[in-house]
């Protein structure tokens, strides 16, 4: 039973690791509009963390979107 539980946790960890990769997230969301809607759900702290990850991967078009949404959220705060 412990081995099965350990395998399940490893599978979940792998799936999570793949999902949080910026390119995989873009692929999953499918469109720029869906990406914007996803980003709008985040807090300023979430957006800053995302901005760092997307910049690291060279996804500059998405960085622009994240930055615009971050600026708007900070104006409202």
pTM for this prediction: 0.76
Tokens for 18, please give them: 């793949």
What digits encode the pLDDT tens for the residues 9-37? 887 777 666 667 999 899 989 999 999 99
Going from N- to C-terminal start, the domains of the chain cover: 2-76
8 Å CB contact between 39 and 66 = yes
The full 3-state SS of the chain, as one line of letters, equals CHHHHHHHHHHHHHHHHHHCCHHHHHHHHCCHHHHHHHHHCCCHHHHHHHHHHHHHCCCHHHHHHHHHHHHHHHHHC
pLDDT of residue 7: 85
Tokens for 39, please give them: 């980003």
| pLDDT at residue 55 is higher than 70 | yes
């Amino acid at each position: 039973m412990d081995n099965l539980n350990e395998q399940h946790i490893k599978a979940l960890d792998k799936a999570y690791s793949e999902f949080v990769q910026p390119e995989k997230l873009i692929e999953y969301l499918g469109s720029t509009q869906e990406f914007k809607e996803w980003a709008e759900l985040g807090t300023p702290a979430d957006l800053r963390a995302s901005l760092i990850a997307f910049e690291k991967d060279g996804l500059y078009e998405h960085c622009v979107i994240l930055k615009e949404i971050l600026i708007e959220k900070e104006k409202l705060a």
